[in-house]
Amino acid sequence: MKMTRPTAIITGGSRGIGAAMADKLGELGYNVVLDYHLDSSKEKAEAVAKSLEEKYGVETLVVQSDVSQYDDCVHLVQATVDKFGDQIDCLVNNAGITNNSNWIDIKPEAYERVIAINLMSALHMTHLVLPYMVNHADKDHQCNIVSTTSVGGLTGVINQADYCASKSGLIGLTRGLSLEYAGKGIRVNAIAPGMIMTDMLRGVNQDELKALSATIPQGYIGDVSDIAGALGYLLTASYVTGQVLSPNGGFVLS
């Protein structure tokens, strides 16, 4: 079954950067599949989906899954195909967490969880989605895979070695897959956000926030809409693949 609208899957799309990118997908006319993991995120994911339907007239699907687990990724992709057919046009790998712990005190299960959610989820999802993309992508109908990495994957962040390792891994995945599938009409890119105003930064006191802003050459912390805008560009830039676009206010020059 072939749908009139293109179909996109976004992991970690219930809040923050993910919700903003889901909104951009809806604006661009995609039917959007959002996953959420914890029961506490269900209401947020459903609110994002409802907003997309009301604002853009697209169809949505909300699926509970732990994308660090391969079987849950199978469930997510199959649910997408069951509702929208086997033409998957876009995958946004956005699920991510961080520990913020020094490397002596951190427990193996903690850094294994970061690698599983931040990196393994993208490996699982691309492995499962690519066969559907290959079946219908070509030069005139391109498909896209976009992963959310971080400036931490380009440089380093104190007390976040596992996070940086996972985000660097996403960059390697992006570059490798982009070369492998460039001739098949599939573009693979990544977005490496700098400091963006999300729930985590909203909890920082104002003095600390000013100190953070002072480290950014442009002088302010970015908004989730900056990352959504980067996604919009990558989805429409037909001659761009294998790239890491980093909206960071000049904080990191890549």
Give catalytic residue positions.
163
Number of Cβ atoms within 10 Å of the Cβ of 162: 23
Query: What CA dihedral angle connects 181, 3, 51 and 126, to 10 degrees?
Result: -20
Q: Are 64 and 42 in contact, with CB atoms under 8 Å apart?
A: yes
The tokens of 89 are what? 């046009």
Single out the residue of 162, 154, 127, 125 nearest to residue 244, CA to CA. Answer: 154
Task: Please list, in sequence order, all residues whose beta carbon lies within 8 angstroms of the beta carbon of residue 246, skipping any fewer than 6 positions away.
Answer: 151, 154, 191, 192, 193, 194, 252, 254
